[in-house]
Amino acid sequence: MILKYTYRTLITFSTQVSSHTFMLRCTPYANEYQRLIEHKTSVIPNCLLTRSNDTFGSILETGYVADMHDAFMFESTGIIEIGNNRSIEKVNPLFHYHSELTTPDMAIRDAARLIGMDMSVTEWVMRLSDYLQGHFQYESGATNVKTTASEAFSLGKGVCQDYAHIAIAMCREVGIAARYVNGFMIGEGATHAWIEYHDGERWLGFDPTNNRPVDDTYIKIAHGRDFNDCSINRGRFNGIAEQNIKVTLMVEQLKKLPKEQTKQIKNQ
């Protein structure tokens, strides 16, 4: 499937700030499953962006705004082809170990054991997701980016980030390698979070919030141990200011590539 996306974040500050250093993860992950056909990142105030990769292969773009400003906007646009090819890949042992936001308490450990283990890894993950649908409720504002899996599970409510953290904690508890994924879904809204689990041969995506396998309507941006490894935007600035953040996202399917992109691919 060919998807076109526009993602924009506008941050307004209550007073002017300066010496603003930032790090963005807003470019789709590039591998055999996702092919970047076109991509552009722009920021206001305008500044030089430096591209690199983090420890897990996600694309980072960093920059610095020296002058005083009371707003900061970054936008990521592009066209990406989502395929079905997921190659055999060894597991980084890191994804077997609990992390800061996914360390389970006794309640999560007990819930993981209730599911049982006499089944395939994929079936276990599906049953885990079914369990969460009956024991966890989606509620915006109930948690924040620092909420741990155990805290969210105790509350019994949260957002996609919490579904992912709890699912990862339960997977790792029974020996299934799992990692956190940040990205986009087709339609309008904001960023979304899901998990990837290793079935013994390859990494497969599952969305516990929506209780469904990840397909070609999802765009992966980054993966890591938990949210802390995958945040879209992190920054530091001089000044004391409150921040107001507005996020917009549009992902739509293209039936075919625009002519200019088709010509470029033929010439490669």
CATH (domain of 46): 2.60.40.2250
Nearest CA-CA partner of 149 in 108, 204, 106:
108
The answer to the question of residue 73 being in a domain is yes
- What CATH number does the domain containing 166 carry? 3.10.620.30
Residue 268 has pLDDT above 60, yes or no: no
- pLDDT, residue 257, reads 75
Quick one: 183 and 60 in the same domain?
no
Q: Residue 215: pLDDT above 50?
A: yes
- Between the alpha carbon of residue 69 and those of residues 21, 66, 257, the distances in Å are 13, 9, 38
Neighbours of 14 (CB within 10 A): 12
Q: Is residue 88 part of a domain?
A: no
Is residue 39 included in any domain, yes or no? yes
Exposed (0-12), middle (13-18) or buried (19+): which is 53, by Cβ within 10 Å? exposed
Residue position matching structure tokens 């054991």: 113
Mean pLDDT over 147-163 rounds to 98
Q: Say if residue 110 is in the same domain as residue 35.
A: no
Does pLDDT of 61 surpass 50?
yes
Say if residue 212 is in the same domain as residue 110. Answer: yes
Answer yes or no: do 97 and 212 share one domain: yes
Is pLDDT at 180 greater than 50 in this prediction?
A: yes
Interval 162-187 mean pLDDT = 97
Rounded to whole angstroms, how far apart are CA atoms 181 and 216?
A: 15
Distance CA 4, CA 81 (A): 9
The answer to whether residues 140 and 159 belong to one domain is yes
In a domain, 238, yes or no: yes
If asked whether residues 224 and 241 sit together in one domain, one would say no
Mean pLDDT, the chain, whole residue set? 93
Average pLDDT over residues 138-152: 96
Residue 18: inside a domain, yes or no? yes
| pLDDT (average), residues 147-166 | 98
Q: Which domain, by its residues, includes 50?
A: 2-83+231-267
Are 70 and 158 contained in the same domain?
no
Task: Examine residue 50 and state whether it is found in any structural domain, yes or no.
Answer: yes
Q: Is the residue at 259 inside a domain?
A: yes
Same domain, 98 and 225: yes
pLDDT, mean of residues 51-61: 95
Residues 6+ apart with CB under 8 A from 221: 25, 26, 27, 28, 29, 58, 181, 182, 183, 184, 191, 230, 232
Residue 265 clears pLDDT 70, i.e. is over it: no
Q: Are residues 189 and 252 in the same domain?
A: no
Rounded CA gap, 170 and 166, in Å? Answer: 6
Mode of pairing for the β-strands spanning 178-185 and 192-198: antiparallel
| Tokens (6 digits) for 51 | 């591209």
